[in-house]
Amino acid sequence: MVEDILSIKAIAEEEIKGANDLKAIQSLRVKYLGKKGVLTDKIKSLGSVPKEIRPEYGKTLNETKNHIESILNQKESFFKASELESGLKANRIDVTVPGNFIPAGHKHPISRVLDEIVDVFSSLGFVIEEGPEIELDYYNFEALNIPRDHPARDMQDTFYITDDVVLRTHTSPVQVRVMQKNKPPLRVIAPGKVYRCDADVTHTPMFHQIEGFMVDEHISMGDLKGALELFLHAIFGEDTGVRFRPSFFPFTEPSAEVDIACVMCGGTGCRLCKGSGWIEILGCGMINPKVFEMVGYDPEKYTGFAFGMGIERITMLKYGIDDLRLFFENDKRFLEQF
Amino acid sequence: MKASINWLKEFVDFSAKPIEIANALTMAGLEVEGVEEVDGDTILEVNITPNRADCLSIIGVAREIAASLSLPFKKSKIPVIKEEFGAPEIEIKAPELCRRYASRIIRGVKIAPSPEWLSKRLEAHAIRSINNVVDATNYVLLEMGQPLHAFDLNNLTGHGIVVDKAGSIDKFFTLDNEERALETDTLMIWDKEKPVAVAGVMGGLNTEVTLSTSDILLESAYFNPPSVRRASKALNLSTESSYRFERGVDINAVVTALERAVDLILQTAGGKAGKLTDIHPKPLALRQISVGLSKINKIIGVSLKDSEVQDILTRLGFDNKKTGDTFVVIPPSFREDIQQDIDIIEEIARLYGYDKIPVTFPKVRLTPVKVNTHRNLIKITKDFLRRSGYSEVINYSFLNPSVFDKLRLSPDDKRRNTIKIKNPLRKEENSVRTTLIPALLGNIGLNINHGEKSLRFFELSKVFLPSKEKLPEEPLHLGAVCLKDSRMPSSIWEGKHECFYDLKGALENLMAELKVKDYSFVDTDSCEPYLHPGKSCTIKVNNEVIGSLGVLHPAAAEALELTGDIALFELNLSSLFLHILPKITYKSLPKYPYVERDISIVVSKDINAADIENAIARIDSNLIEGITLFDIYTGSPIPKDKKSLAFSIRFRAEDRTLTDAEVDVLHSKMVSLLESSFKAELRS
Ligand SMILES: [Zn+2]
């Protein structure tokens, strides 16, 4: 009797193994476990099994039923899952088509570098100030110790609106305007457009500058060197060589020109640096006491440094741009590279 | 300035190679921009800053080499001139413009080409050799920095000199055979009758030294620098002479230079010299400047000792004495640029070597930093436009006013009233811009020529408007332009809508990010003459018009030679920034659910969707939470002059769940309103 059950089990196992779709599994479930299924019949007729073998017979029958049910379930969920998968596979999209987004516009390289420089100084606690682009001769020249009829005016070819009003030739007038309105300590940068009556391969009549200055009671030239080295290393890399050499600006004294080791040859000399190994990058100095007097600061109490740099030049060096005019032509093929 | 190594060696003994000398000069502040070998000599190209008039000569550069390398400077001996007849008669009538005038007459010179050594040296320093007399004056100019002038004595009426302003004489022929207009204040050299030179700038043709000259009068003077500069600017004539006078020559070397030149002329052209006239009414008193050692060290950031400072001052030829902490310094007469203690501190720093100053970091006092909100708003504006696909352009501030006609601006349009530049680089571009539009359209034109079909640009820049103040107003403007080829979209996702909506979307997105309160796009006919009257609107914020947006007018497009679907806007960003919500205030979240109903209507094409939305909103502003236009359709089966609009309306009450019955009431109110006010037909 027990043997009968075991042979049913063996046959059922074999049949389930051979089933290869959900339908076959469902009909096997009816065949063995349905209302009139083989195993259901056996359970119904359990009462007619002789008493002495009934416990063992009953146990085997129950185990077999559970076993068959479990492997049927297993197989059934396998077929269900694979049916779903193959259904999904048929419903496909072309994943290689580009995603739906608005291609972002580009930041002008001048803005890119200007923002980078502003960020470095902002992180050092410098605040940003602005001044007018059309400026009084007084702020652009006189207050910066550049009197009329002084040869220092030749350093900057000026666009005049009237005899007293000019297109500012540098961002330095912001120094005077800010100092007139505020008391030290001061840490300020002033970015903006400036104008010179000059156009050739290395000059455009409009360009961008950043002016920076710091005023307090104990600022020294050593501090000027420290602050600018910090800045130049942030922009051009930690290992960039930096050189300070004496120069002249009417509004700073002592004045310095700052060179960095040539970005192209690293200092051995090439066409870019005209063989010198150095590239002029900015002008700076200790604020001239005459400027302090103009704004009513006590030059015996306060000292400070100021610096100014051309953004186009730095941008050209950073990106290897070889034609200044590209900045203002606004050729899409140029702008797209930034 | 050019400087020959061989010539320099006549004044300072050095064994260093030219390249080492170049480096030493550069690091002392005389930047050497070129080193060129010429004919057994080396010529340095030295950039002399405007403050260093004393270095515009061989001896000046030699002094710098001596000072920076700690070598002795060999002073040249003043030649003793054998005087064989009398002195010239000189009168200075404008002493404030001519502080010193020295002169000798040389008779019996033989004008001829210079000896080779002289002409070669001049030519190596970019000065053309003329004849032995003129070359001698130029030689001394190069060597000592003192410009000299030789007059043909026999053409000087009265054989004397008067120094006076031009006065009523308004025309004068200079040596270069040009007739020059004079200003009344221009300082002139006269003989007893007529002007014979523009003082310090150029001699006159009437007294030029020529091959037939036998007697000369030689001039060595000190002219007031600003006066020479004004004359040079007025005549638009810059010479080796004016360049040096306007920067200031060494007033104490005026006679030395004269003697050097006389001696040289006697050697090369022969002749006999007469006695010296030297008019020098107020000899220069040398300045005495005090500077404390502690101040020197504080400003440079070093700890120099007395002896180090003294050594530097002595190398520079500055007399100095120390009392207490203070040095009393007397700079030599050729250092007119040394006026105050800071100038001496700079000299010390310069010769000590900037590279030796230790790097330190400024110690800062914490102070409250004011946030630059303006700059933050600019950053948001730029970032948002970029995210909407617009690239930033930067254009020149200059403007050619003829573009206003192409933009069809009316004759009285405010933007035509531009600020003019007196000396523009290009005559046509004589203004600074009052609008960003011309440049932006120019950018489109350039790129169309390169074959581009899809362009999105913006520019953020100041424009310049005349004001009652001395300085103009400089409002910040924002302009943008969009060009689209709807047949060839730049991406498969890009819709076929007009580029007007592309541009408007970018602007609305920006307004939302900036949290601009109360802005609107108002449909007015022809808000700008350069915009399409049917496809343009004004941009209003809080009822103030701040700009306009629209499609480029076909007539303007034609005038500017542009084709394609181009939309553009310009607005006053400074004004916009005034209407930004000062802060964000939180509103509690709704407690009850919303009910949503769609409504689809057919109306005349002339009716604006915004008017319908506003009308719906007014039905019950408490219960209608939002209205979204989600479809616009024209074409079959909608009649030609009509369009279909579909809105989704969201209803919600603050204090209860709305019942269907309540919403039904609102909905039917809405339908009858749309029917009566807009002659709308409901679409099923
Ligand atoms: Zn290089």
CATH for B600? 3.30.70.380
Which of B44, B51, B373 is the best mutation test for A, with the most CBs of A within 10 A? Answer: B51
A272-276, B378-382, B415-419, B449-453: least confidently modelled range:
A272-276
Q: Are residues B412 and B507 in the same domain?
A: yes
Task: Please check whether residues A75 and A127 belong to one and the same domain.
Answer: no
**CA-to-CA distance for B26 and B47, rounded, in angstroms?**
9
**Is A97 part of a structural domain of the chain?**
no
pLDDT at A152: 79
Alpha-carbon distance of B139 to B180, in angstroms, equals 27
Question: Which of A90, A117, A151 represents a domain boundary (last residue)?
Answer: A90
Residues 6+ apart with CB under 8 A from B265: B106, B109, B132, B133, B136, B150, B216, B218, B271
Same-domain status, A120 and A8 = no
Which CATH number covers residue B304? Answer: 3.30.56.10
Does the distance separating the beta carbons of B302 and A222 come in below 8 Å? Answer: yes
The pLDDT assigned to B486 comes to 67
Domain that holds residue A81: 2-90
Domain count within chain A: 2
The pLDDT tens digits for B263-297 are 999 999 999 999 999 999 998 889 999 999 999 99
* Residues in chain B within 8 Å Cβ distance of A135: 471
Residues A140 and A187 in one domain: yes
What are the pLDDT digits (tens) for B247-258?
999 999 999 999
Question: Residue A261 domain-assigned?
Answer: yes
Q: Is residue B364 part of a domain?
A: no
Q: Are strands A186-195 and A206-216 parallel, antiparallel or unpaired?
A: antiparallel
Please report the pLDDT score of residue B517 as a whole number: 83
Residues A182 and A253 in one domain: yes
Q: Residue A92: which region, alpha, beta or left (left: phi > 0; alpha: psi -120 to 50)?
A: beta
Percent of chain B with pLDDT over 90: 89
Q: What is the pLDDT of residue B569?
A: 97
pLDDT band of residue B364 (cuts 50, 70, 90) is: confident
Residue-level pLDDT at B484? 87
| B636 inside domain | yes
Are B232 and B298 found together in one domain? no
CATH number at residue B120: 3.50.40.10
Q: Give yes or no for A200 touching B (CB within 8 A).
A: no
Could you tell me the pLDDT band of residue B306, with boundaries at 50, 70 and 90? very high
B75: in domain: no
Tell me what pLDDT residue B506 has. Answer: 94
Chain A contact set for B354 (CB, 8 A): 221, 225, 244-246, 256
Is residue B310 within 8 A of residue B320, CB to CB? The reply is yes
Picking from B232, B249, B279, the residue at the C-terminal end of a domain is: B279
B395 domain-assigned: yes
Q: Nearest chain A residue to B457 by CA: give it.
A: A105
Q: How far apart are CA B583 and CA B373, in angstroms?
A: 13
Q: Is residue B542 domain-shared with residue B420, that is, in the same domain? A: yes
Quote the pLDDT of residue B333.
Answer: 94
* Interchain contact, B349 vs A247, CB within 8 Å: no
Task: Please check the confidence at residue B489 and state whether its pLDDT lies above 90.
Answer: no
Question: Could you tell me if A191 and A314 lie in one domain?
Answer: yes
pTM: 0.88
Q: Please identify which residue in the block is written with the tokens 């800045």.
A: A231
Closest CA in chain A for residue B247: A151
Q: How far does chain A reach from its first CA to its final CA, in angstroms?
A: 87
Residues lower than pLDDT 70 in chain A: none
Q: Are residues B307 and B250 in the same domain?
A: no
Distance from CA of A106 to the nearest CA of B (A): 4
- Hey, which bits of A203-325 come out as E strands? 206-216, 242-249, 252-261, 278-287, 303-310
Does the CB of A288 have a partner CB in chain B at under 8 Å?
Answer: yes
On whether residue A231 sits in a domain, the answer given is yes
Q: Answer yes or no: do B452 and B505 share one domain.
A: yes
Neighbours of ion ligand 1 (CB under 5 A): A 262, 264-265, 270, 272-273
> Do residues B328 and B407 both lie within one domain?
no
Does the CB of A59 have a partner CB in chain B at under 8 Å? no
Best B20, B55, B360 residue to mutate vs chain A (most A CBs within 10 Å)? B360
Q: What DSSP string describes B205-269? A: GGG---TT---EEEEEEEE-HHHHHHHHHHHT---HHHHHHHH---GGGHHHHHHHHHHHHHHHH
The reply to whether B210 and B108 lie within a common domain is: yes
Same domain for A118 and A27: no
Q: Is a pLDDT exceeding 80 seen at residue B645?
A: yes
Do A77 and A179 belong together in one domain? no
Cβ distance of B389 and A329 shorter than 8 Å: no
* Inter-helix orientation angle B293-300/A221-236, to 10°: 10
Put simply, whether A162 touches B (Cβ < 8 Å) is yes
Residue B125 exposure: Cα atoms within 13 Å on the Cβ side = 26
Q: Kindly state whether residues A141 and A209 are assigned to the same domain.
A: yes
Reported as a pLDDT band with limits 50, 70 and 90, residue B142 is very high
Q: Does residue A98 lie in a domain region? A: no
Residues on chain A touching B357 (C-beta within 8 angstroms): 221-222, 225, 244
For an interface test with A, give the residue of B52, B239, B364, B453 to mutate (most A CBs within 10 A): B364
Q: How far is B670 from chain A (nearest CA, A)?
A: 37
What is the span of the domain harbouring residue B389?
Answer: 373-578
Q: How far is the CA of A83 from the centre of ligand 1 (A)?
A: 69
Contacts of B370 in chain A (CB under 8 A): 127
A291 located within any domain: yes
User: Quick one: B150 and B232 in the same domain?
Assistant: yes
Distance of CA B323 to the CA centre of its chain: 46
Residues B615 and B573 grouped into a single domain = no
Assess if residue A104 is contained within a domain: no
Q: Strands of B289-292's sheet, edge to edge?
A: B289-292, B326-330, B319-323
Which pLDDT band holds residue B86 (cuts at 50, 70, 90)?
A: very high
Q: A225: CA distance to ligand 1 center in Å?
A: 23
Number of structural domains, chain B?
A: 5
User: Is residue B513 domain-shared with residue B381, that is, in the same domain?
Assistant: yes
- Among A150-159, A321-330, B20-29, B458-467, which is the least confidently predicted range? A150-159
Per DSSP, the three-state class of A75 is: helix
Where b means 16+ CB within 10 Å and e means fewer, B237-250 reads: bebbbbbbbbbbbb
- Distant-in-sequence, close-in-space partners of B340: CB < 8 Å, separation ≥ 6: A289, B289
Return the CATH number at A235. 3.30.930.10
Whether residue A303 sits in one domain with residue A271: yes
CA distance B87 to B106: 10
Q: Which residues pair with B36 in a beta bridge?
A: B43
Q: Is the pLDDT at B396 greater than 80, yes or no?
A: yes
**Ligand 1 center to residue A121 CA distance, Å?**
27
Could you tell me if B377 and B449 lie in one domain? Answer: yes
Q: State in Å: Cα A261 to ligand 1 middle.
A: 8
Same domain, A320 and A197: yes
Residue B526 has a pLDDT of: 61
Over residues B117-121, the mean pLDDT reads: 95
Average pLDDT, chain B: 94
User: Looking at B279, B314, B338, which one is the last position of a domain?
Assistant: B279
Q: Do B299 and A136 touch (CB under 8 A)?
A: no
Inter-chain contacts counted by CB atoms under 8 A, chains A and B? 230
CA distance A117 to A232: 9
Q: Do B186 and B221 share a structural domain? A: yes
Does B202 reside within a domain?
yes
Distances (CA, A) of B62 to B6, B11, B23, B54: 11, 6, 14, 11
Per the DSSP assignment, residues forming a β-bridge with B117 are none
Q: Are B332 and A242 in contact (CB under 8 A)?
A: no
- From CA A166, how far away is CA A154, in angstroms rounded? 15
Q: What pLDDT is attached to residue A269?
A: 87
Residue A128 falls inside a structural domain: yes
Structure tokens at B240: 């080796």
Q: What per-residue confidence (pLDDT) applies to A150? A: 83
Residue B371 pLDDT > 90:
no
DSSP A269: -
From chain B, pick out residues whose CB is under 8 angstroms from the CB of A251: none
| 3-state class (DSSP) for residue A273 | coil
pLDDT (tens digit per residue) in A251-298: 999 999 999 999 889 888 898 888 889 999 999 999 999 999 999 999
In a domain, A189, yes or no: yes
Same domain, A156 and A199: yes
Chain A nearest C-alpha distance from B302 (Å): 8
Residue of B337, B365, B394, B441 best to disrupt the A interface, most CBs of A under 10 A = B394
Q: Do B362 and A331 touch (CB under 8 A)?
A: no
Closest residue in A to B295 (Cα–Cα): A300
Q: Is A100 on the interface with B (CB under 8 A)?
A: yes
Q: Is B50 in contact with A152 (Cβ distance < 8 A)? A: yes
CATH number at residue B401: 3.30.930.10
Q: Are both A130 and A258 inside the same structural domain?
A: yes
